[in-house]
Amino acid sequence: MPSHFSTIGIPVTSEQDFIDIGQRAARLAERHKVQNGAYYCWQDESGAALWLQLDENDQLIGINPHFHGQALFQVAILTPIKRPHDSPLDGAIRGWANGTAAAPDSGDFPFVFDLPNLALHPELHYPAQVTIRLAAFAHELTLYESAAAFAKRPDPRLQLAAQAFIPTGLFTENDEPPAAQAVFTGTISAWAQKQNGLTGQPFYWFAVETLGGSIDVVADPTLVPQEPVVGGHLEGSFWLTGTLL
């Protein structure tokens, strides 16, 4: 399975690669001071982004890949989520797609998304209705050239509709915290092969309409064996990362 870094054109295969890419990005990044440290955000014209985390001693403690797209998603946020191995600057939120602050659990579905910059929003209160830019990093991906091809797929996953969203990250065992993962299907309204400005490596971007709204999907080229088609469909499993407007 591709890594979240290779999904936006940044091949990382070793700890040294991780350090090198962090140093290169930091020289071009914008600094954001927060409690417990600072974020350094690098972003290029393709939308690929890295959020570097530095502690109060300016030591690198983490790097989160991200994609800054244009898709807007309405969410009622319910609670922040902390996981045992999170750094102080990691963040995740449980919410409902298209829920409201007055009735947050009355939306289309519950889900969890990670945030690369949650510490920039100490004023957040819960529940609240917010708009986010939501990106989905493909773990697995299948493309279909038309609705007819999607309907005739030989092994339809869970018999999903053409626009469906299953928040698989909520289904955990042994009281583990929920993950920012989902399986969904959707219609491709636009796509492009993009190039990461830091590495020169390609990756794919899709604008996808699915249950609940629009999502920017990005994928490692190894997951895209044929040319996508506008108006076609996709199906896959994804990591979800978002930023608040």
What confidence tens digit (pLDDT) does each residue in 74-120 have? Answer: 999 999 999 999 999 999 999 999 999 888 888 999 999 999 999 99
CA–CA distance, 106 with 129 (Å, rounded to integer): 12
* 44/155 same-domain check: no
Is residue 174 predicted with pLDDT exceeding 90?
no
- At residue 156, the pLDDT reads 61
* Cis amide linkage into residue 127, ω under 30° from 0: yes
126 Cβ neighbours under 8 A, 6+ residues apart: 77, 78, 79, 80
* 88/139 same-domain check: yes
- At residue 175, the pLDDT reads 85
For residue 115, is it within any domain?
yes
Domain count, the chain: 2
- At residue 149, the pLDDT reads 92
For residue 237, is it within any domain?
yes
Q: State the average pLDDT over residues 206-232.
A: 97
Provide the percentage of residues in the chain whose pLDDT is more than 90: 90
Query: C-alpha dihedral over 40, 199, 69, 4, to 10 degrees?
Result: -80
- At residue 84, the pLDDT reads 92
Provide the percentage of residues in the chain whose pLDDT is more than 70: 99
For residue 78, is it within any domain?
yes
* 122/149 same-domain check: yes
CA–CA distance, 126 with 205 (Å, rounded to integer): 32
Is residue 128 predicted with pLDDT exceeding 90?
yes
Cβ atoms of 213 and 74 within 8 Å: the answer is yes
For residue 82, is it within any domain?
yes
CA–CA distance, 135 with 66 (Å, rounded to integer): 8
For residue 1, is it within any domain?
no
Distances (CA, A) of 25 to 7, 59, 198: 17, 15, 8
For residue 25, is it within any domain?
yes
For residue 79, is it within any domain?
yes
For residue 12, is it within any domain?
yes
* 62/136 same-domain check: no
- Its domain, for residue 84, covers 72-244
* 96/52 same-domain check: no
Residue 242's DSSP bridge partners are: 134
* 155/217 same-domain check: yes
* 183/234 same-domain check: yes
Is residue 158 predicted with pLDDT exceeding 80?
no
Residue 154 vs residue 145, higher pLDDT: 145
What confidence tens digit (pLDDT) does each residue in 221-237 have? Answer: 999 999 999 999 999 99
* 102/21 same-domain check: no
Q: State the average pLDDT over residues 165-193.
A: 96
Is residue 157 predicted with pLDDT exceeding 80?
no
* 159/126 same-domain check: yes
Is residue 242 predicted with pLDDT exceeding 90?
yes
